[in-house]
Structure formats: C-alpha cells, structure tokens
Structure 1
Amino acid sequence: MLQVNPKMLPRLAEIEKDLILRRKRAEDEQWLGEIEGIDMTLTFVRTKQADAARTARRTTVLLGLPGPRPSNG
C-alpha cells in the first residue's frame, strides 16, 4: 500500500479544495457521472490525509544496533 509522506498534507488539502470546487461546478451543470467520480476521489484523498496525519503523530523508536550475545560461562 502506498503511504503518503506527512509533508504532503498541504498539497492534499489543495487537491481537496479543488475537488470541492469541481464538484460544485458539476452540480451546477448537472453532470451526475462527474459528481460520482469526484465523490470517490474525495473519499480517497480524505483517507490519505488521515493516514498521513496518523503517520506524522507516530514517534520514532530507536532500537540500536545489534551486537553479539553475552556468553554464559
């Protein structure tokens, strides 16, 4: 699955804004098929925004470098 970099959140917001404007125009022009397609794309964009925001909230865990096991003896 493709993960969106959290740095792309502003771009996703731009895309969402543009889609909302395109949907309004499609409603005004009564382009029913276009509205359905835009709604699907909006759902996808909003899901990606939520995924990217969730990724941005995660903290990094440093596990260190593996080393040799201590010997018992």
Structure 2
Amino acid sequence: MLSINPRMLPRLDELEADLLARRQRAIDEGWRGEVEGLDLTLRFLRSKRAQAHRAAATWTVDLGMPTRPRPGR
C-alpha cells in the first residue's frame, strides 16, 4: 500500500480542490459516470489524507544500530 509523507498534505489539499472543481463541471455537464469516478477518487484521497495525519501524529524513537559484543570481552 502506498504511504503518504505528511509533508505532502498541502499537495493533497490542492488535488482535492481540483477534483471538486472537476466534479462540479461533471455535474453541470451531466456526466454521471465521471461524477461516480471522481467521488471514488475523492474517497481514496481523503483516506490517504487521514493516513498521513495518523502518521504525522506517530512518535518515532531512534534506537540506534545494534552492536554485537566482541568475543573475549
């Protein structure tokens, strides 16, 4: 599954605005199939945004590289 870097959240906002404008045009033109496709894409985009928000809220701890004890010490 593709993971979204939290730094890309502003780009997801831009994509959503574009998709919403395209969806409105599809509604105005009566392109029902296009509206359904855009709705599906918006649902996936919003899911990825939520995933990125969760990832941004997750704390990570650097434990360093493990070392092996030297023989005889």
TM range (shorter): 0.7 to 0.9
> Is 1:47 equivalent to 2:41 in the alignment?
no
> Is 1:26 equivalent to 2:9 in the alignment?
no
**Runs of 4+ more than 3 Å apart:** none
Which runs of 5 or more structure 2 residues have no equivalent in the other structure?
Answer: none
CA-CA distance at 1:33 after TM superposition: 0.5
Which runs of 5 or more structure 1 residues have no equivalent in the other structure?
Answer: none
User: Match of 1:8?
Assistant: 8
User: Match of 2:62?
Assistant: 62
Give the TM-score, by structure 2 length: 0.86
Letter of the 2:63 counterpart: L
Percentage of matched positions with identical amino acids = 57
Give the TM-score, by structure 1 length: 0.86
Distance 2:65 2:37 in 1: 48
Distance 1:9 1:66 in 2: 34
User: Match of 2:38?
Assistant: 38
Number of positions where the alignment pairs a residue of Structure 1 with one of Structure 2: 69
